[in-house]
Amino acid sequence: MLPVDFDDLTAEDVSRHFGRRRALSRISFQTHKGSILGLLGPNGAGKSTMLAVLATLLRPSSGAVRYGTHTPGASGAALRSRIGVLGHDLFLYPELTAHENLVFFAGLYGAPDPRQAANAALQRAGLADRAHDPVSSFSRGMRQRVALERALIHGPRLVLLDEPFTGLDDASTAALVSRLQGLRDGDAIVVLATHDLDLAEGLLDSALFLRDGRVAEAVARPDSLRSTYRSIMRRSP
Amino acid sequence: MIRTAWLVLKKDLTVEVRSLEIAYTTLFFAISCVLFFAFALVKEGKAPEDGAAGILWIAIAFGGTLALGRTFERERQSETLRALLMAPADRPAIYIGKLLGIIALLVAAELVLVPLVAFLFQAPLLSHPFWLGAVLLTGTIGFATVGTLFSAMLVRARSRDVLLPVLLYPITVPVIIAGVRATAALLQPDVELAIVQFWVALLIALDVVFLTLALWTFEPLMTD
């Protein structure tokens, strides 16, 4: 497997249908390394579907996603090794300990020393003292921290996050925001789907408002996200 | 590929050792099957001739179906299947890891079922342990190979619990028939090893065909 890398992510007229239902309709955008793009919109707007397409889990019905010059069809596994996903579900085995979960995923992503990678990840998550406790005994916030480290354990270029602030207390939210800012400083491309506009406002470098699977508005420098959101929602579909 | 398969197998076995959920349900169901048949068929301490072979394989097939359904259900519950599919690992290696986990579980169940069936049906199942082991292993591999593929394929289907046996049993009928016939041949007073060898060879051929097809189709089936 030849390593791949990319500096930008481009969606070109991406549509995705599920039978007769159109989940995404002609979505286009581009984002670059060292930036955080927000996918904003109400439930059912197509945010999670867009993330699944970017994660190569779903193929677009039409249009294409380009990772620099690479496409999922041609680069497959090599491309997946540069993508990290934190879904709404946390992708953790509740019966395993935090350490075992991270060692497993580090091994799956080909880390040369999975145990060391897991230990370092647990330090970053501030959970080194709970390393050998089963994930099922963790609070939602602690699970979220482990899940984020799972998504980042292989140092991905593209980080995809689906509603990462759900169920977090203030301290966990602040830690997550700081981690995301660190990823931006480390030249990652971060795409974040959320409907928490207050949290998104200070964090995003650009935002894409989705409604009914379409781009309602693209904002280059998001400030007053809430008023933009309200005006979009007031428009007739 | 071997490394990925080993990681998935090790993870599945660790999870199972912690919860014992699949092992207990599979064993309980399989032992119940054997007991029901024993109560129904053994009259005045006399078991029907050749009945043990069929009952052993019915218990393996029914218990195995339960185990197959649960192994991917577990991956679905916390959506870890998506995480597995997003990893840069070869997808057939993930299938191999899951398959080996199921085979290990069924072999463990057979270690309990064989002495139980031998005892309840007064069947000399353990008189040719090598050949019995060969029959059970090749039959289990064939059954689990198809079952693991279908179980993965149906993981997002709403009526997967109903669909799995409906799809699985017709395809694995040749494996079950070969397993029953080979086991029955081992129960004869004068065992003709040539007959047993023929059925084992057939089971190996079926294993090769099913495994090739499963490895070929797993990736496209799990995409999208």
Between A and B, how many residue pairs show a Cβ–Cβ distance under 8 A? 68
Answer yes or no: is pLDDT of A96 > 80.
yes
pLDDT(A236) > 80: no
For residue range A159-213, list pLDDT tens digits in order: 999 988 887 788 888 888 888 888 899 899 999 998 778 777 778 888 888 888 8
**B interface test, pick of A80, A100, A104 with most B CB neighbours within 10 Å:** A104
Average pLDDT over residues A78-106: 90
Nearest CA-CA partner of A89 in A42, A144, A170, A33: A144
Q: How far is B30 from chain A (nearest CA, A)?
A: 25
State residue B191's pLDDT score: 79
β-pairing verdict for A8-18 and A83-86: unpaired
Predicted pLDDT at A222: 66
Whether the CB of B7 is below 8 Å from some CB of chain A: the reply is yes
| Count of Cβ atoms closer than 10 Å to residue A121 Cβ | 26
Provide the shortest C-alpha distance from residue A52 to chain B (in Å): 10
B215 vs A5, residue with greater confidence: B215
Report pLDDT for B162: 87
Tokens of A200: 């998104």
Contact B88 A57 (CB under 8 A): no
Secondary structure string (H, E, C) spanning chain A? CCCCCCCEEEEEEEEEEECCEEEEEEEEEEEECCEEEEEECCCCCCHHHHHHHHCCCCCCCEEEEEECCECHHHHHHHHHCCEEEECCCCCCCCCCEHHHHHHHHHHHCCCCCHHHHHHHHHHHHCCHHHCCCEHHHCCHHHHHHHHHHHHHCCCCCEEEEECCCCCCCHHHHHHHHHHHHHHHHCCCEEEEEECCHHHHHCCCCEEEEEECCEEEEEECCCCCHHHHHHHHHHCCC
The pLDDT of B173-183, averaged and rounded, is: 95
Residue A140 forms contact with B (CB below 8 Å): no
Q: How much is the pLDDT for A1?
A: 64
Query: Does the beta carbon of B11 lie under 8 angstroms from any beta carbon of chain A?
Result: yes
Evaluate if pTM is beyond 0.80: yes
Residue A139 above 90 pLDDT? no
Angle between helices B193-222 and B129-153 (to 10 degrees): 20
CA-nearest residue to B8 within chain A is A104
Whether B19 and chain A come into contact, CB under 8 Å, resolves to: yes
| pLDDT above 70 coverage of chain A, percent | 97
> Is it the case that residue B102 has pLDDT exceeding 70?
yes
Find the mean pLDDT for residues B88-106.
91
Q: How confident is the model at residue B132 (pLDDT cuts 50, 70, 90)?
A: very high
Q: If we measure between CA atoms, which residue out of B181, B169, B73 comes closest to residue B135?
A: B181
Just give the CATH number of A8-234.
3.40.50.300
Domain ranges of chain B: 2-222
- By the 10 Å C-beta count (0-12 exposed, 13-18 middle, 19+ buried), A100 is classed as buried
Q: Which tops the pLDDT comparison, B144 or A75?
A: B144
In this prediction, residue A89 has a pLDDT band, given cuts at 50, 70 and 90, of confident
Task: Give residue A237's pLDDT.
Answer: 57
Report the percentage of chain B scoring pLDDT > 90: 60
Query: Does any CB of chain B come closer than 8 Å to the CB of residue A73?
Result: no
Mean pLDDT, residues B87-110 taken together: 92
Mean pLDDT is highest, among A12-21, A67-76, B41-50, B137-146, for: B137-146
* Measured CA distances, A119 to A84, A99, A101 (Å): 18, 7, 11
State how far the Cα of B171 lies from the Cα of B144, in Å rounded to an integer: 12
Instruction: Name the residue in chain A with its Cα closest to that of B9.
Output: A104
* Higher-pLDDT residue of A204, B7: B7
- The pLDDT tens digits of the residues spanning B136-168 come to 999 999 999 999 999 988 887 888 888 988 999
* Alpha-carbon distance values, A183 to A9, A68, A84, B205, B224 (Å): 16, 19, 12, 52, 29
Place of tokens 């040369």: A112
Domain boundaries, chain A: 8-234
pLDDT attached to residue A40: 87
pLDDT digits (tens, 9 = 90+) for B65-92: 999 988 888 888 878 888 888 888 888 8
Per-residue confidence (pLDDT) for residue A93, from 0 to 100: 92
B14 contact A CB<8A: yes
Report the mean per-residue pLDDT for chain B. 90
Taking a C-beta distance cutoff of 8 angstroms, is the pair A83, A26 a contact?
Answer: no
Quote the CA–CA distance of A139 and B123 in Å, as a whole number: 54
**Which pLDDT does position B122 carry in this prediction?**
87
Interface test with A, best of B11, B73, B219 (most A CBs within 10 A): B11
Q: Which residue of B has its CA nearest to A53?
A: B224
CB contact under 8 A, A80 and B78: no
pLDDT at res. A2 = 64
Contacts of B17 in chain A (CB under 8 A): none
A41: Cα separation from own chain's centroid: 15
Q: Which of A167, A100, A90, A89 lies closest to A134, judged by CA?
A: A100
Q: How many residues does chain B have?
A: 224
Higher-pLDDT residue of A9 and A72 is: A9
How far is the C-alpha of B120 from the C-alpha of A151, rounded, in Å?
52
For A120-133, what is each residue's pLDDT tens digit?
A: 999 988 888 888 89
Q: Identify all chain B residues contacting A110, using CB atoms and an 8 Å cutoff.
A: 88
HEC-encoded secondary structure of B117-186:
HHHHCCCCHHHCHHHHHHHHHHHHHHHHHHHHHHHHHCCCCCCHHHHHHHHHHHHHHHHHHHHHHHHHHH
Tokens 């959320």 sit on residue: A194
Q: A1-5, A169-173, B74-78, B111-115: which range is least confident on average? A: A1-5
pLDDT at A235: 67
Instruction: Inspect the interface and report whether the beta carbons of B7 and A104 lie closer than 8 Å.
Output: yes
To the nearest whole angstrom, how far is the Cα of A95 from the nearest Cα of chain B? 6
| pLDDT (average), residues B170-198 | 91
Residue B46: per-residue pLDDT: 81
Instruction: State whether A95 and B14 contact (CB < 8 Å).
Output: yes
Phi, psi of B150 (to 5 degrees): -65, -40
Q: Using a CB-CB distance cutoff of 8 angstroms, which residues of chain B are in contact with residue A90?
A: 78-79
* ipTM for the whole complex: 0.84
